[in-house]
Amino acid sequence: MKKILVTGATGQLGSELSVLAPSYPQYDWVFADRTQITLDNLEMLQSQLEAICPDVIFNCGAYTAVDKAESEKDLVFTVNHLAVELIAKYAREKNVRLIHVSTDYVFDGTSSIALDEKAETKPINVYGESKLAGEIDCLKENPESIIIRTSWVYSKFGNNFVKTMQRLMQEREEINVVNDQIGSPTYAADLAKAMIDIIESSKWIPGIYNYSNEGEISWHEFALGIKELGDYNCKVVGIPSSAYPTPAKRPSYSLLDKKKIKTVYNLEVPNYKDSLRKMFA
């Protein structure tokens, strides 16, 4: 029986994988939180991997507090870069399949067309820099890895934009949401299923893939979709990013082109509205 190790088990993606896992009893699932897989302590991490001895690793663990990352650079790079490098090296030496999750924040946001896997990377914040460094050394240490870049992840688990909006729309009469950052949300349950589909597939084609739901929207439009589904009375006002300054810059355009993953692994990618409806249900 193949053993699948899921790092970051209590995060959005890890939690959605744990919901799906019982439907795949042919695998021995190991869901490791930050005490079992310690991404910020490389010595411990090495021995933890050796103790678990997985056949497949879904590396969903990461430092994702984008604004806080600006002032915690060493920690961010340990978790998002050095730990990834170590996991990739371990996977190569032990012949383990590795799927590592990355982000649209590796881009600078100046594109006007959907970004494919070959688009130029140029992060504009510490989080994006750390994730790009992780990608580069992941493939350097283990060219057989699969990296999936995703964007705007939400889920019924953890903290995310959808749950924040649901709360604010019930508490307030009016909220402001930026309307000049364009991309597409990703329902973590859809991404979790895609990762399992890749493992279930008869082929393993390493490299970088993009995955997010279909649709091209702003955060403001996303908020309006949440308002509609939740039937909230709150007024949602669109504002420019300049009116909502944050410690970390965000890419203004980071829509991902999903053609590659759809073609190679024959995946159906749901529209963001259908997935949002599913989460609400």
Residues in the chain: 281
Query: What are the φ and ψ backbone dihedral angles of 128, each rounded to 5 degrees?
Result: -60, -40
End-to-end CA distance of the chain: 34
E strand intervals along the chain: 2-7, 27-32, 56-59, 97-103, 146-150, 153-154, 174-178, 182-183, 186-187, 207-210, 217-218, 235-239
- Cβ pair 102, 147 in contact under 8 A: yes
Give the residue numbers annotated as catalytic, written as ranges.
Answer: 127
In 3D space, the residue among 217, 211, 191, 194 whose CA is nearest the CA of residue 273 turns out to be 217
Degrees (nearest 5) of the Cα angle 249, 124, 216?
70
A 10 A CB-CB count for 216 gives 12
CA torsion sign for 188, 34, 69, 77 is negative
